[in-house]
Structure 1
């Protein structure tokens, strides 16, 4: 056990020497760091590994990275980032992979791994972590939604986010109302991504002229007059008015599924549905409608 720990510490010597040479850490700080790492490595070298010890080790190294960032800013130093910061980050990722491999059913271990990779700014590693997490937590719809949200908000990957919800998550949660709501919100945001494309790449079509026919079809299924739907559908669909025609039809299909399979039995005031224009999650609002509208 001692030989294994000493070998691990020897592998860290180059980065420790570079820290002291560049002035990121003093000689005293380097010595304290070596002793602290030795203590952690000895604890992890035991036959029965502790989940808490692994977490504490990673958190300690994260604080070290934060300190190095501050020191680099103070010294205006960008030298040896790969051999110092990169080496520490890769070693922490290895520890986190071991952590999630030993306790794959624990959501907190995955959350720590995702949070740390986001801290590093390694977007592809975050995506790989989410993908690995879904293999053990496919039954948790929130895991799929969090992954799709990351792809959309951090990587601006609309197609990837949509593929996660439509192709992957829907196989495990075909009747999930929460998933349909998130997919509906995703399609509403399609306009922002489509508008970035050159005009010649976008499909053309007078979608809003189809609203009377579509609203009548939906209204006949849920017992709401087509006139009421025609009044509020343009407001609901306003966020995607710059989208291409296929995106708009996907929004209408999802709206139909939401209303018919989930919201209609509970009742819904269509004027309140315009809240979607502000991209607010449906779960944040209670939709109430009088029994007269469903007659």
Structure 2
């Protein structure tokens, strides 16, 4: 037996003695456990070891722990219930196996994923932070890891600043990854949506009530953190958020991003943050970054329109937000860039219909108002005859696809007559 294998087995002796003493495992079963552990230790210590060997070792230990737990539940009324080494030693061993596996095979995402999943299940916040810190240092261009870390911060730790910092640091390493920008925008919209939904449900109208709610949530988060290995917790959090980055290697456009520590107090009417202005700041940098290397003007125009529509489609999903304000900003940006483009002009002309449904009581009046707006624009516009034809075709196509295809009965008849009139 190698020294490493012998050391690992000897460390488990107190746990095995405790299991036998409590009557959870027989002597024969304990001998079997020792043999299996010895076999696994030899396998992972050998030169030909593979990530699958570590995962098999973990699976075996999980099965042992599951059996121990079931027997304990069945016998807890007749055995010693005081906390002992056998209760926590197996989870610690599993963590140790994962740690050795990721050290030996740092590129194995299967090992890292299993390590994170198990640490989360054990609610070991310190270990989770350690794993993310090491993994992000080793694989800074793996955007899925950054997303996972940001999701952990936001959903489990309720730490919006930490999640936001992860997105910004991810962008430093993956500036031209479109998915990162879109996920960042989605995250900010999701946060604002949850914030406004909470206020609506709890009727947090006054600023004083909002401040009190924020303070209570921050207190709960800190208390939760203090319960998980107290002293080292803050240090671990900094480790995950403070990877070493050379500012000279960072795209200068990222410096335009706001710090986003602006107060979210107040209402949509009096606070630009709640209207989505921070999201729009990210949008501006996103567009500038993604098209920077495109030199062909037609290709750049096509790409900007595609990117803008992707952001618009994300905004469409959050109905509690001031979507019209954000959509109008993006559409006006397109109009400034391409004032005579039919698709951009129709986006502007149909903005008032963007969130109108056939089932709305005001559908007919809203549609009539929009058609009058379109006709007034066409009569006063200085567009060429050819450009006006393009705008008309795009406008008719919009009404057809959004409303006519889904309409029935009188509404469908009305739309058919309207579209026929517009085509004349």
* Match 1:129 to one of 107, 131, 155: 131
Cα distance in 1, alignment partners of residues 9 and 83 from structure 2: 20
> Does residue 265 of the first structure (1) align with residue 293 of the second (2)?
no
* Match 1:86 to one of 85, 88, 113: 88
Q: Deviations over 1:180-226 (max 9, x none)?
A: 22222222233446857516866545544688xxxxxxxxxxxxxxx
Alpha-carbon deviation of 1:129? 0.6
Cα distance in 2, alignment partners of residues 92 and 12 from structure 1: 12
Cα distance in 1, alignment partners of residues 134 and 112 from structure 2: 9
Of the structure 1 ranges 132-141 and 8-17, higher mean CA displacement relative to structure 2 is found in 8-17
Bigger relative contact order, structure 1 or 2, given CA contacts below 8 A and separation 6+? 1
Q: Is the 8 A contact 1:158 1:193 kept in 2?
A: no
Runs of 4 or more, structure 1, over 6 Å off, are: 259-263
* Match 1:95 to one of 72, 78, 97: 97
Between Structure 1 and Structure 2, whose CA radius of gyration is higher?
2
Q: Is the 8 A contact 1:5 1:38 kept in 2?
A: yes
Cα distance in 2, alignment partners of residues 102 and 268 from structure 1: 45
> Does residue 293 of the first structure (1) align with residue 351 of the second (2)?
no
Query: TM-score scaled by structure 2?
Result: 0.51
What's the counterpart of residue 224 of structure 1? none
Give the direction of change, closer, same or farther, for the CA distance of 1:80–1:260 in structure 2 (3 Å limit).
farther
Alpha-carbon deviation of 1:172? 0.4
Cα distance in 2, alignment partners of residues 251 and 96 from structure 1: 39
What's the counterpart of residue 274 of structure 1? 316
Cα distance in 2, alignment partners of residues 106 and 271 from structure 1: 35
Q: Deviations over 1:132-154 (max 9, x none)?
A: 11111111111111111112122
What's the counterpart of residue 61 of structure 1? 61
Instruction: Give 5+ residue unaligned stretches, structure 2.
Output: 200-209, 216-262, 291-302, 322-340, 346-424
Q: Deviations over 1:220-241 (max 9, x none)?
A: xxxxxxxxxxxxxxxxxxxxxx
Q: Is the 8 A contact 2:20 2:26 kept in 1?
A: yes
* Match 1:141 to one of 137, 140, 143: 143
Cα distance in 2, alignment partners of residues 275 and 108 from structure 1: 33
What's the counterpart of residue 177 of structure 2? 176
How many residues align structurally?
250
Give the direction of change, closer, same or farther, for the CA distance of 1:148–1:278 in structure 2 (3 Å limit).
farther
Give the direction of change, closer, same or farther, for the CA distance of 1:162–1:50 in structure 2 (3 Å limit).
same
Of the structure 1 ranges 117-126 and 193-202, higher mean CA displacement relative to structure 2 is found in 193-202
Cα distance in 1, alignment partners of residues 309 and 4 from structure 2: 64
Q: Is the 8 A contact 2:175 2:289 kept in 1?
A: no
Q: Is the 8 A contact 2:9 2:38 kept in 1?
A: yes
Question: Aligned Cα RMSD in Å?
Answer: 3.4
Query: TM-score scaled by structure 1?
Result: 0.70
Cα distance in 2, alignment partners of residues 64 and 80 from structure 1: 20
Alpha-carbon deviation of 1:160? 1.2
Query: Residues 214-233 of structure 1: matches in 2 within 5 Å?
Result: none
Alpha-carbon deviation of 1:16? 0.7
Cα distance in 2, alignment partners of residues 272 and 9 from structure 1: 54
What's the counterpart of residue 153 of structure 1? 155
What's the counterpart of residue 399 of structure 2? none
> Does residue 198 of the first structure (1) align with residue 212 of the second (2)?
yes
Cα distance in 2, alignment partners of residues 80 and 114 from structure 1: 29
